[in-house]
Structure 1
């Protein structure tokens, strides 16, 4: 059962978190282009599509920690420091996405865009992506792992 839980956890991370990180990274530059003087209707359509991708895949991303916790429980590692740090960083990444990235994207993708929402969005998005990168490394390296790495 552990292998199934781990497989679903990893697949969900790839399928759900991957698109959010890529689309969120593309969003600030696309917003600058779309809302700039040379912006076109196509640029606005791309901007709104990137926002929709982030919103939908962020919702699907809930599966990742659910199956991650189930996997950790079946492995008996719920109290391990690396996992507790990973959980905290995952919560921080989710908070950044939900509280900052998605609301700013919504304001920029609105029919009357709020251009002030673009200030610092690339930095916040980079922070979100960095948090996920650290979680990924912790999941692979796992201090105290028995894999011999």
Structure 2
């Protein structure tokens, strides 16, 4: 059962978090283009939809991660507690910063002048960078966890 839970956890992380990381990262670029290229607005809408949908699917990552940790008896391990805290921080950045800023940016696309003077592309770039850094740190902790029996 542990191998199954771990497999679902890793697959969910790859298939749910990966698209949010990529779509969130390219959103600011298309936001800058939207001031002069109306076609970029269609891309922005698709990227935002992708981020929202995969954020919901991403809930499976900590759910199966916690189930795996419970099976392994690792819930009290410092590396896991740190990973849980970093995962919660990444979720907070996504829910409180990235997704609302993307929504505001889409609202601004109706006014190219206001969009052109907005600091949203920079804010989104920074927020997405923090989100990606948090997830990269969690990934590293999962691979080189202290006390690992994998020999790493």
Scaled by the length of structure 2, the TM-score of the pair is 0.92
Which structure 1 residue ranges, 5 or more long, are not aligned? none
User: 1:75 — aligned with what?
Assistant: 72
Q: Is the 8 A contact 1:104 1:118 kept in 2?
A: no
Q: What's the RMSD between the two structures over aligned residues?
A: 1.3
Q: Is the 8 A contact 2:74 2:80 kept in 1?
A: yes
CA offsets, 1:98-123, max 9 Å, x none? 00000000111236367333342101
* d(CA) in 2 for partners of 1:12, 1:92: 18
User: 2:140 — aligned with what?
Assistant: 137
Runs of 4+ with deviation above 4 angstroms: none
Alignment partner of 1:118 is 2:115: no
* d(CA) in 1 for partners of 2:151, 2:24: 35
CA offset at residue 80 of structure 1? 0.3
- Mapping for residues 1-149 of structure 1, pairs under 5 Å: 1-34=1-34, 36=35, 38-40=36-38, 42-110=39-107, 112=110, 115=115, 116=118, 117-149=120-152
Scaled by the length of structure 1, the TM-score of the pair is 0.93
The higher relative CO (CA closer than 8 Å, separation ≥ 6) is in 2
